[in-house]
């Protein structure tokens, strides 16, 4: 994606979220070939730095621009924040972050995972936990700690469960787009 198409996508999703919260008609999606690709995406919503929703799809479904809007709706309804839904009076503090995902690749363990580059998917018995690439960096975690925390917080399993026979591990890259830096990471 070009920097221009990234800015257009972010502006669209920001406008989309603002419109949904305020009860207005949502904007028309931008028309750009770069946004009609099929990629996974996560939408993270914060109010003055406080997490208020983060939902995404690892699997690409339709176009990036359509999936981003769908995930914005899902992030606004994130079950973890039922009593803290974003209200119109809070929109001045709204921060929207998009993470465009690369295709996940199977890995055998932490030796194939690089903090700062990779996100992780841990699938155990059909249950799946995911951390985006930026999570380990933001938390100051090592690769092993990232896997352990994913098991504990996303799967409700003990640390180290990712080592169990039958556990499937995947790593994926992600490209974060946000306005706070006015550029992309």
Where does 99-175 have alpha helices with state H? 133-139, 143-149, 155
Q: Give residue-wise pLDDT tens across range 161-184.
A: 999 999 999 999 999 999 854 344
Beta carbons within 10 angstroms of residue 11's beta carbon: 14
Domain shared by 133 and 149, yes or no: yes
Of the given ranges (22-36, 67-81, 88-102), which has the lowest mean pLDDT?
22-36
CATH of the domain at 35: 3.30.700.20
- Give, in order, the Cα–Cα distances in Å from 100 to each of 35, 140, 157, 168: 11, 22, 28, 22
Q: What is the share, in percent, of the chain residues with pLDDT greater than 70?
A: 97
| pLDDT tops 50 at residue 185 | no
pLDDT band with cut points at 50, 70 and 90 for residue 12: very high
Residue 181 included in any domain: no
Structural domain count, the chain? 2
Mean pLDDT of the residues in the chain: 93
Query: How far apart, in whole angstroms, are the C-alpha atoms of residue 28 and residue 9?
Result: 11
How confident is the model over 90-149, as pLDDT tens digits?
999 999 999 999 999 999 999 999 999 999 999 999 999 999 999 999 999 999 999 999
pTM: 0.88
Q: Could you tell me where the beta strands, DSSP code E, fall in 102-167?
A: 105-107, 118-124, 127-131
Closest CA to 30 of 9, 3, 14, 10: 9
For residue 154, give the CATH number of its domain.
3.30.1490.150
Tell me 128's DSSP state: E
From 49, 82, 101, the end of a domain falls on: 101
Q: Report long-range pairs for 3-6 (Cβ below 8 Å, ≥24 apart).
A: 3/183, 3/184, 4/32, 5/32, 5/34, 5/35, 6/177, 6/184
Q: Are residues 83 and 148 in the same domain?
A: no
Query: Domain limits at 119?
Result: 105-173
pLDDT digits (tens, 9 = 90+) for 111-124: 999 999 999 999 99
Same domain, 112 and 151: yes
């Amino acid at each position: 994606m070009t920097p221009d198409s990234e800015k257009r996508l972010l502006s669209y999703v920001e406008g989309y979220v603002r419109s949904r919260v305020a009860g207005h008609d949502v904007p028309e999606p931008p028309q750009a070939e770069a946004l009609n690709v099929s990629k996974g995406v996560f939408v993270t919503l914060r109010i003055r730095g406080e997490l208020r929703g983060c939902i995404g799809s690892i699997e690409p479904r339709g176009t990036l621009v359509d999936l981003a809007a769908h995930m914005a709706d899902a992030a606004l309804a994130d079950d973890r924040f039922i009593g803290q839904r974003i209200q119109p009076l809070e929109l001045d503090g709204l921060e929207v972050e998009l993470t465009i995902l690369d295709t996940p690749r199977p890995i055998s363990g932490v030796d194939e995972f690089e903090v700062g580059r990779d996100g992780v998917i841990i699938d155990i018995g059909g249950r799946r936990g995911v951390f985006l690439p930026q999570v380990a960096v933001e938390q100051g975690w090592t690769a092993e700690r990232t896997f352990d925390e994913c098991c504990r917080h996303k799967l409700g399993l003990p640390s180290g469960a990712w080592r169990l026979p039958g556990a499937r591990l995947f790593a994926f890259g992600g490209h974060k787009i946000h306005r706070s830096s006015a550029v992309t990471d």
